């Protein structure tokens, strides 16, 4: 190993370590560490990366066009700040390259970084386990002591929001890392793999975010499906996501119209609130169906209403549904471009030199990401994109069997 590559290996290891720390801290800093990985290493793998993109020109072209349209939609948005457009334009390419770097590592280096991620994931999982068992004791203390919060109950509530975000990112990485450990020789390694998955399950069920539970279950089912249908299962997930984005207003409109009022009244407030958000967003989509209202338009469209003895906002910062949010901001054109990108991704997966473990890891990570942006987080949030990139990076490190 040359001195230059040793430095590169150490640099990558340091940035992965920082990523794990950022995950435990709530995930927000993850965008910085993953962007740095992409920025620092892109010059090293630019030529090979360009060749890979040229092997799937339709996917690359549609991906760039989708991001460009989303960014351009800021021009007619009522929200004046262009922060989101800059983030999408600058960070998404870095996240893509950051994930792709794992493909260019030698088997030896991939194994070295996978071992590091294994240790880091177990440490992060242990932290989330402690926080889950203590009700967010550490996070609550940090809120009280460092964030100048004066109310313990409020501090714990804020801590759980932070922990739930970090738990989502942790879940994405835990699956591919657990699969890596499971494939290593030794019963103790398999024990650690099961322990890591148990930690992910515990984290998903804690911190008052039910969407995390659904996401983990779907991710595990998606990974299991690849063991039966290999890359076809991953392609079906991508095709299904594309169909959903394209038809979101129709599907959600029909679903909401057919939902009995008694069922809605029986839902917890957090889920019933989502129904009200989706209804309000559908109303806005009807007003600008072709090009949408522009990027981040919901940030200036508050619609507070009384609901179950409280005041809720029917138009908060995001739609809690990726398909509706894309339609809301970028209209039918944006939805068509994003759906076409997912369709092209499914086609590219059919040709990519992936082994079965990599396919399983990608299905798991993608499944979790899709569920969380369909039910919980905003589809543009950079920390969430970074978590996806890190999960894909971890999936690509698995080199245990021949190409599928």
Q: Which residue in this structure is represented by tokens 């994405």?
A: 172
Which one of 73-77, 152-156, 203-207 scores highest in mean pLDDT?
A: 73-77
CA angle 347, 106, 356 (to 5 degrees): 40
Distance, CA of 27 to chain centre? 11
| Inter-residue contact 326 to 379 (CB < 8 Å) | yes
Q: How far is the C-alpha of 362 from the C-alpha of 394, rounded, in Å?
A: 9
216 has pLDDT over 50: yes
**How confident is the model at residue 148, as a pLDDT?**
59
The pLDDT tens digits for 246-263 are 999 999 999 999 988 888
**How confident is the model at residue 308, as a pLDDT?**
76
The pLDDT tens digits for 26-35 are 888 999 999 9
The pLDDT tens digits for 45-56 are 777 777 777 777
What do you get for the CA distance between the two ends of the chain, in Å? Answer: 30
The pLDDT tens digits for 196-213 are 999 999 999 988 788 899
Size of the chain, expressed as the number of residues it contains: 404
128 has pLDDT over 80: yes
4 has pLDDT over 70: no
**How confident is the model at residue 367, as a pLDDT?**
95
Mean residue pLDDT across the chain:
89
């Amino acid at each position: 190993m040359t001195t230059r590559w040793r430095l590169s290996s150490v640099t990558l290891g340091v940035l992965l370590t920082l990523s794990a720390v950022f995950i435990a801290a709530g995930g927000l800093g993850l965008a910085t560490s993953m962007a740095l990985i992409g920025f620092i290493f892109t010059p090293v793998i630019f030529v090979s990366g360009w060749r890979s993109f040229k092997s799937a020109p339709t996917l690359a072209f549609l991906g760039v066009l989708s991001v460009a349209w989303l960014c351009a939609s800021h021009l007619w948005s009522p929200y004046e700040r262009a922060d989101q457009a800059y983030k999408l334009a600058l960070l998404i390419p870095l996240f893509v390259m950051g994930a792709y770097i794992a493909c260019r590592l030698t088997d030896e280096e991939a194994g070295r970084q996978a071992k590091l991620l294994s240790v880091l994931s177990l440490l992060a999982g242990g932290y989330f386990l402690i926080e889950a068992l203590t009700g967010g004791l550490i996070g609550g203390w940090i809120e009280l002591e460092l964030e100048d919060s004066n109310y313990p109950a409020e501090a714990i509530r804020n801590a759980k929001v932070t922990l739930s975000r970090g738990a989502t990112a942790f879940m994405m990485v835990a699956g591919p890392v657990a699969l890596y450990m499971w494939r290593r020789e030794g019963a103790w390694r398999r024990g650690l793999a099961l322990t890591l998955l148990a930690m992910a399950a515990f984290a998903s069920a804690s911190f008052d975010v039910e969407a995390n539970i659904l996401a983990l279950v779907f991710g595990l089912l998606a990974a299991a499906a690849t063991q039966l249908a290999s890359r076809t299962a991953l392609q079906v997930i991508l095709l299904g996501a594309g169909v959903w984005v394209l038809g979101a207003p129709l599907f959600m409109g029909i679903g909401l119209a057919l939902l009995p009022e008694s069922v809605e009244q029986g839902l917890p407030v957090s889920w019933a609130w989502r129904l009200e958000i989706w209804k309000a967003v559908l109303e806005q989509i009807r007003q600008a169906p072709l090009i949408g209202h522009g990027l981040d338009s919901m940030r200036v469209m508050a619609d507070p209403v009384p609901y179950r003895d409280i005041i809720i906002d029917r138009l908060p910062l995001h739609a809690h549904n990726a398909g509706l949010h894309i339609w809301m901001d970028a209209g039918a054109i944006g939805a068509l471009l994003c759906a076409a990108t997912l369709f092209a991704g499914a086609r590219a997966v059919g040709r990519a030199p992936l082994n079965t473990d990599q396919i399983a890891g990608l299905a798991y990570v993608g499944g979790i990401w899709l569920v969380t942006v369909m039910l919980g987080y905003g589809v543009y949030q950079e920390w969430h994109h970074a978590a996806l990139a890190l999960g894909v990076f971890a999936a690509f490190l698995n080199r245990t069997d021949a190409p599928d």
